[in-house]
Structure 1
Amino acid sequence: MTLRIIVFFVVSVSICTCTQVRIEDQVLHDMTQVRIEDQVLHDVFGYAPQASIPLAADSQFQASAVTPVTENESTTEAQYYEWDYYNPPDINYDLFDWTLTKRVASSSDENFLLSPLGLKLALAILTEAATGVTKNELLIVLGFSSDQSTVRQKFTSIIDSLKKESPQYILNVGSRVYVGSNVRPKQMFAAIAEEFYKTELKTVDFHHPPEAAMQINAWVSNITKGKISHLVSEDDVANVAVMVLNALYFKGSWRHQFAPNETKYHQFYITPTVTKDIPFMNVNNKFYYTESAKLRAKILRMPYLGNKFSMYIIVPNDLSGMPHVMSNTNVLRTEMNNLREHYVDITLPKFKFDYTSQLGGILKELGIRDAFEDTASFPGIARGQYLSERIKISKVLQRSGIEVNELGSVAYAATEIALENKFGEETESQVEVVANRPFLFFIQDELTRQLLVTGRVSDPTLLDGAFKLV
C-alpha cells in the first residue's frame, strides 16, 4: 500500500480590517513536535545549541521592525521602504510563477487567485527529500539549480525579507510538514526544513481524522486571522503519511488611498457585449506607469504603505484583450523596465473573492509526474523498512482569497494624506487607467521580487468560492 503525501496551500490577502483568532492550548495538546539532535545540527550547519531544543514553537513569523536610518548610518536595501522607488527585477527570476499563472488562466475565463510563493516553498521542501527522476523533474519544472545550496540561499533571502515587520502592514507566513504518528521523520530533513525554509515538522495521529483535521485547521486559522478556518476535512487527512502545508496572510493599506466618497457605480465589461453596474474607486496621484505596445495594455504599480509590497495592475487596451495579455506574460518583466512616475487618474473596481484549486493536474502537465506515481522517490523524509519507496504525492490543493477596497487600515489615513500632499501643485500631464474590463494583477515583495499572489478579475461581483480542477 502506497502512503500519501498531500500538499496544501492557503492564502489570504486582505486590504481591510479583520479579527485576530487565538488558538487555545488545549486545541493543540495532542500534537508532538519533532526534536533535532545536537549532533545533526553540528554535522549539517557546523554548530550546536547549548542544550537540545525543539524547533521554533510556531513557524508563523513576524520579525522585529525595520530600524530607522540615522544621519550617521548608511542606507541598505532593507531600509528603503519609505521611498516610493521602483527597481526593475532580474529577468526570468519568476519564470515558473508565470508559467503556472498562465496555465491556470487558460483553464477558464473566470476570476482566479494563486500564490506562487506558497507552491514553490512547499515543493522546494519536498525537493530536499527527493532523489532520482522525482528530484530531477522537480528541479527542472521549478527552475531550480541542481546545486541545492543555491536553492537554499534563495529561499533564505526570500523568507528573511518577508520577516521584516512594519507597523504599516501585516504579513504572516507559516509552513509546516505534518507526519503521521507511525512515521519516523529523518533528523536531517527536519533540520534542513527548519534552517533554510523556516518550516517545522509536527507529528499528528492521522488514524484519528477528526482530531487531526481540527489541529491542522486551528493552525491555519491562526495564521490567516480567521479568514480561512476550514482547510482540511476528515476525509482529507484519512490514511495520510505526510502533509505539507503553507499558509500566507497579508493585510496592507494603500500608500495613496481611495476616498470613499469618490466611489461611484459604473459599467464593468464582463465581455464586449455584457456589462454590470458595480462600485468603482478613484484616486489621482503619482504612480509608476507605462503603456506596453507588446502587451497592448497599461501597467500600473500601486504601492502599499511602507513601499515594501506593491500591487501591479495590467489593464488591456481592448475590451477583449485579456487573452493576448495572458499569452504574452513572458514579456511582462521586460516591459516593467519602462515604468516611470506619472500623475495617474485611477478608476478601479472594488472586488473580493475566494479561489480553491487542485493543482496536481497542472504540475503533471508541466513535467512533475514521477512524484505522483508509485515510482516516486522521497527517501529523505522518513525512515523505516520500505517506507521511502511507498511515499508519493496524492493531492496539491491551494485555497486563497483577496479583498480590495478604498482604505485598508484607517489608522494610516493621516500619514497617507501627508505623503500625498508632498508633491505640491500638478504641473505634469496626466494619464488615465480605467480598469472596467477583465484585468490581471499581482502582489510582490519589492525587495526580492517574489510574487506573493497572482490573479485575474473577470467579474468583480462574483465571490467565486468554487473548487477548481485545473
Structure 2
Amino acid sequence: MKCVFSSAAWKFPFDEDATAPGDFTLADGSKASVPMMTNKAPMRYHEDDGYQAVEAPYEEDRLSMVLVLPSDLGEFEAGFDVSALSTLLVFQETRDVTITLPKFRVESRFDLIPPLKALGMTAPFSDADFSGIDGARSLSISAVVHEAFVDVSEAGTEAAAATAVAIDERASPAAAIRFDRPFVFFIRDNDARTILFVGRVADPSR
C-alpha cells in the first residue's frame, strides 16, 4: 500500500465567519445550497477562452491547488490534453483575487486490473511466479484497487491516496472568481513539478 499527501494549511486561510450558504448550479441546471467560503488574497490568476483559473497556495508554497472554472465543463474536458494542461499551469501574473469556493469532499475508488490488462500486464493475474512469497506457485493477484479522497475546508486541505494490491511581481487588476458551478482542480507539488491529485466537483452537497 502506498499513500501520498496528508494535509496542508492554506497560505491565506478562509475566514470561517465569512462562510455562508450559497447556490451551486449543477450540470442539469438545478441548484444545491452549499457552504460557500470567501477570501481575498494575492494569487496567481489566468483567464483564457472558456475558463478562469486561480492557484491557491498552501503554506511554504511547495504545494498549491489550481482551481479551474470552465464556462462549459463538458467542452473543457473534451478538449483537455497534455498540451492544454501545460498551458493551463503557466500563470503569468499575480492579482488580488476574491475567491468564492464551496467546501467539498471528493472520494474515488478504481479497480486497476482492467486498465493494467489493457496495457499488457496479464501474467500477475494468472500464472505469475510468486513462489518467493510462499515457496509455491499457488498465488496470483486478485485485486488492485486505488482509493483517494480530497477534503477542502477553510483551514486547508486533507487528502490521501492509496493503491493496495491484495495480497516580487507587478500589481495587476483585481479579479474575482466564484466557483458556483461544476469545476475541476489539481493539487500539485511545485518543487517536483508533479500533479498529485486531479478531480472534478460536480455537486459539493454530496
TM-score bracket, shorter-length normalisation: 0.7 to 0.9
SS at 1:382's partner residue?
helix
Pairing 1:446–2:198 present: no
Structure 1 runs not aligned, ≥5 long? 1-244, 410-422, 463-470
CA distance in 1 between partners of 2:92 and 2:73 (Å) = 20
1:325 partner letter: F
CA distance in 1 between partners of 2:92 and 2:116 (Å) = 33
User: 1:440–1:364: structure 2 CA closer, same or farther, 3 Å change rule?
Assistant: farther
Pairing 1:364–2:114 present: no
Q: Write out per-residue CA displacement over residues 404-441 of structure 1, whole angstroms, 9 at most, x where no aligned residue.
A: 111249xxxxxxxxxxxxx9xxx742112111111111
Q: State the shift of 1:363 in Å.
A: 3.1
Show the counterpart of 1:154. none
1:347 partner letter: T
Spell out structure 1 runs of 4+ moving beyond 4 A.
383-386
Show the counterpart of 2:58. 304
Show the counterpart of 1:97. none
Pairing 1:382–2:132 present: yes
Preserved CA contact (<8 Å) 1:441 1:454: yes
Q: State the shift of 1:246 in Å.
A: 1.0
Show the counterpart of 2:34. 278
Show the counterpart of 1:332. 85
Decide which of 144, 158, 164 is 1:396's aligned counterpart.
144
Preserved CA contact (<8 Å) 1:314 1:439: yes
Q: Write out per-residue CA displacement over residues 3-61 of structure 1, whole angstroms, 9 at most, x where no aligned residue.
A: xxxxxxxxxxxxxxxxxxxxxxxxxxxxxxxxxxxxxxxxxxxxxxxxxxxxxxxxxxx
CA distance in 2 between partners of 1:262 and 1:247 (Å) = 33
Show the counterpart of 2:3. 247
Preserved CA contact (<8 Å) 2:44 2:91: no
Show the counterpart of 2:69. 315
Q: Write out per-residue CA displacement over residues 296-342 of structure 1, whole angstroms, 9 at most, x where no aligned residue.
A: 2222111101111111111112xxx2222223132112332244212
Show the counterpart of 1:437. 181
SS at 1:257's partner residue?
coil
CA distance in 1 between partners of 2:176 and 2:123 (Å) = 48
Q: Write out per-residue CA displacement over residues 187-241 of structure 1, whole angstroms, 9 at most, x where no aligned residue.
A: xxxxxxxxxxxxxxxxxxxxxxxxxxxxxxxxxxxxxxxxxxxxxxxxxxxxxxx
Q: Write out per-residue CA displacement over residues 255-309 of structure 1, whole angstroms, 9 at most, x where no aligned residue.
A: 011111221221101124211111111111111111232xx22221111011111
The alignment's TM-score, normalised by the length of structure 2, stands at: 0.81
CA distance in 2 between partners of 1:385 and 1:267 (Å) = 60
Q: Going by fraction, where is strand more abundant, 1 or 2? A: 2
CA distance in 2 between partners of 1:334 and 1:307 (Å) = 20
Preserved CA contact (<8 Å) 1:298 1:316: yes
Pairing 1:288–2:44 present: yes
Greater Rg over alpha carbons, structure: 1
Show the counterpart of 1:262. 18
Show the counterpart of 1:69. none
What RMSD, in angstroms, separates the aligned Cα atoms of the two structures? Answer: 2.6
Preserved CA contact (<8 Å) 1:371 1:393: no
1:369 partner letter: M
SS at 1:256's partner residue?
coil
User: 1:371–1:450: structure 2 CA closer, same or farther, 3 Å change rule?
Assistant: farther
User: 1:266–1:384: structure 2 CA closer, same or farther, 3 Å change rule?
Assistant: closer
CA distance in 2 between partners of 1:358 and 1:368 (Å) = 16
Aligned counterparts, 1:66-465, within 5 A: 245-293=1-49, 296-317=50-71, 321-327=72-78, 328-330=80-82, 331-365=84-118, 367-376=119-128, 382=132, 387=137, 392-408=140-156, 428-462=172-206
CA distance in 1 between partners of 2:197 and 2:3 (Å) = 12
User: 1:299–1:329: structure 2 CA closer, same or farther, 3 Å change rule?
Assistant: farther
Q: State the shift of 1:442 in Å.
A: 1.7
User: 1:391–1:432: structure 2 CA closer, same or farther, 3 Å change rule?
Assistant: same
User: 1:364–1:326: structure 2 CA closer, same or farther, 3 Å change rule?
Assistant: farther
CA distance in 1 between partners of 2:38 and 2:134 (Å) = 61
CA distance in 1 between partners of 2:3 and 2:196 (Å) = 11
| Count of matched residue positions in the alignment of Structure 1 and Structure 2 | 192
